[in-house]
Structure 1
Amino acid sequence: MAKVVVTGRIPEAALDKLRAEHEVDAWDGEQSISRAGLLAKVSGADALVTLLTERVDAELLDAAGEQLKVVSNVAVGYDNIVVADCSARGVRATNTPGVLTEATADIAFGLILMATRRLGEGERLIRSGTPWKWGMFFLLGSSLQGKTLGVVGMGGIGQATARRAKAFGMEVVYQSRSEIDPAIAAELGARRVELDELLAISDVVSLHCPYGPNTHHLIGAEQLAAMKPEAYLVNTARGPIVDEAALAQALRDGVIAGAGLDVFEKEPALHPDLLELENVALVPHLGSSTVETRTAMAVLACENTLAVLRGEDPATPVN
């Protein structure tokens, strides 16, 4: 039996799959394991099942030892993994794409509605006990019908978000490294454009690109200034894709109308100025947070782990 270390709490259905074949050492603390504790825990592991809160780098891989065969990340993004360090040691790295597509697209579109219809402002007003009265100009928002959604990163989640936008009567443009399947583009009525054009013509910009050196602060002061003053920005991808300080300034100055954020630059911390602004909807990284989705993610990560330990190829490899 191999030793499998699980670095954070995951659903029992996934752990049961591992326990059926191997010895499992799973961290079950309410808080993330400390770095020192993690380095000690992984010693002698043949496989690691990791969460996006743990950085997988040369230090961690070496702490595990030369027998380590696979690191299975319970996330579609793998910016917490230094893939080159894994490859240099012959360690397979995997992620969990696909299973969280619909749940994350739901959150993205939920944030679009929260921002454009000022739902967060309305709820805060009610909960504060502030007197209010219906009126023709009370908390006016912006409709979506006939407006343009700009999708940055047209992978599975971007496409699912665009599909929701079409149902709301929106036009769709997208920026991506490559063209999407022509049949999907035709279904969505989606047109590929460069980022500059997307920012200039979109009423809502929704970010779905992976995070890396090329997308760090992809949206900063210059890009925000290129957007329409009545436009909205939504980010359900990774926090550092957006320069939070620049976004806070743009929201304060009316450079754009509003924003919706599910992810933050230095999560769980966020730029303090954002907390003072009414025109931004803030939720704590809920993109994949349904019982069904989190279970499917964990099960897929564990199935990837078991495949590698059997000498088979994992279903969703990164390297």
Structure 2
Amino acid sequence: MPSRLHLHVVPPSAAPLPRPRAALRWRALLWSALLAGFYLLPWLRWEGRQALLLDLPNRRFDLFGLTLWPQDLGVLLGLLAVLAVGLMLLTNVAGRVWCGYGCPQTLWSGMFGWIERSSARHLRRPALARAVKHLAWALLALWTGVTFVGLFSPIHDLVAGLWPPAWRGWQTFWVMFYALATWGNAGFLREQVCIDLCPYARLCPSLCDADTPQVHYDARRGEPRGPRAPGQGGVIQRGRGLLDPVSASDYAFRAAHPALAGPMPNFPEDRLGDCVNCDACVAVCPMALDIRSGPHPDCIACGACVDACDAQMRAWHFPTGLIRPASPNGVQQHARRWLRPRTLAALGTLLVLLGIGVLRL
């Protein structure tokens, strides 16, 4: 670990700041649309039948007008293979966008968290807030279980059997199983599901390379962090410039590990970086990470810390982009390569699978 604590800066003209990034205000709309699509999916009709119904007892799969029978199992497996390879290609090119924007664990954890915050904000009595929260969680989890089983059993018959109870044994078991799984995973385990249980999260590092975007904190611009009086401007505006990479990494490490590296020295306000140490990025992270300590394999790239930091930068009249998506090569100012070995392997496999599917049809 470097031991020097003095500032080494790069002249402002030699270190342009990244372009401002618009806030992802559509994230909540996207999550709402995906959740609404899931709950509405079993109710869609196609030619007088449920549009998507995996009817296991009758060995018939209806997929929006396409009917698959047991002898068509290869078609279903092919569709699953195409989706799996497509996810691999997406991960290599765009990073963990599936985790941040489409994963059911992310969507339901966000919904359960919103219910928890809303009940605590609107109900002053903690006991009442907890009761309302768990009641809402239970109802949402139960309806999630009903909706999921409704993809395997006609949804109209399933809902009609809610009261008086008329479910079969397997329907009751799977509704309660998925209700309890939703309640436990989204209400209590949350990020631990991604860290300890999700196999896709373990595979992601092997699918990514030096040109795959990930959330990055610009330590050269942000360090040394600390509170300051308003009105001083960012490091470029007041001419301090960016730190050299070694000093920036040193300060970021010391801020993240004070017990190991010792306390940071006191810097005058005009030598501080653009990070005001507000911890807004930490507060909004669904994985409870501090991205300023360096790229983390458990980061799901949801962009919440990016938006929170950009909001703070605008409030302080600093340029946005202190935390931003960037590839390791992009951080080093290297040109991005679009045709890489893993990209070509995933793209080639996807094209082969699609070609086989076209020939089969």
Q: TM-score, normalised by structure 2?
A: 0.28
| Higher normalized contact order (CA 8 Å, seq sep 6+, divided by chain length) | 2
Q: Which structure has the larger Rg over C-alpha atoms?
A: 2
Q: TM-score, normalised by structure 1?
A: 0.30
More strand by share: 1
